[in-house]
Amino acid sequence: MFTGIVTDLGEIRSVEARANNLSRLTIYTCYPLAELIDGASIACNGVCLTVVDKGEEGGRTFFAADAAAETLAITTVGRWRAGARINLERPLKIGDELGGHLVAGHVDGLATVVARDDMTEMARFTLRAPHDLARFVAPKGSVALDGVSLTVNEVKGDEFTVLIIPHTLTVTTFGALKAGDTINLEVDTMARYAARLMETR
């Protein structure tokens, strides 16, 4: 489990096609090498990936993770190329501060950036969720977008807005997002369970 609070802005070092439709991703990070444990989970733009290798190169730490065919198909991972920047977060530990909301790292689908409005102190993003996921998005509720925990501002049909403060624009990939981009969307787990309970009444 994660909290949606990004702790590093990683960089894709390489992407390598492997057997059985796997893709081996190698990612630069500021995380200390000693803290990158084989088998550990790291959220990469909201996608929970498993560390399978690690090392240092030119004074930089990196780790490797494999993405399977389903992950490549339903998330943005299949579009990542060397040099791309991605949001990173290590998993929550018992006793850690829950600064965002509970995030599983299991992406539900892709949201499309409809518009970006830059204001004096923040930026407003309007996004369109896939129709079957839009019912889980509610005003004042939580969503994870590219692994970032955000509060929903307004909802109109399949579209919703979020406000991004300058700090988040600086330390995450949101600073580079523009209209037309697609990003990973994970809906709030509690909203999913609430909808399921209503369906089975």
Its sign, for the CA torsion 162, 124, 128, 113, is: negative
Instruction: Please pick, among 30, 68, 69, 82, the residue that the annotation labels catalytic.
Output: 68
Which amino acid type is present at position 197?
L
Q: Which of 3, 23, 44, 48 is catalytic?
A: 48
- Identify any residues that bridge with 160 across adjacent strands, giving them in sequence order: 127, 155
DSSP code per residue over 25-70? EEEEESS-GGG--TT-EEEETTEEEEEEEEEEETTEEEEEEEE-HH
State yes or no: is 30 an active-site residue: no
Which of 2, 62, 136, 174 does the annotation list as catalytic? 2
Among 30, 82, 151, 195, which one carries the catalytic annotation? Answer: 151
DSSP label of 180: T
151 in active site? yes
For residue 106, indicate whether it is catalytic.
yes
Candidate list 7, 14, 106, 138, residue with the active-site label: 106
Quick check: is 125 catalytic?
no
Catalytic residue list contains 68: yes
Which residues have a catalytic role annotated? 2, 41, 48, 50, 68, 106, 151
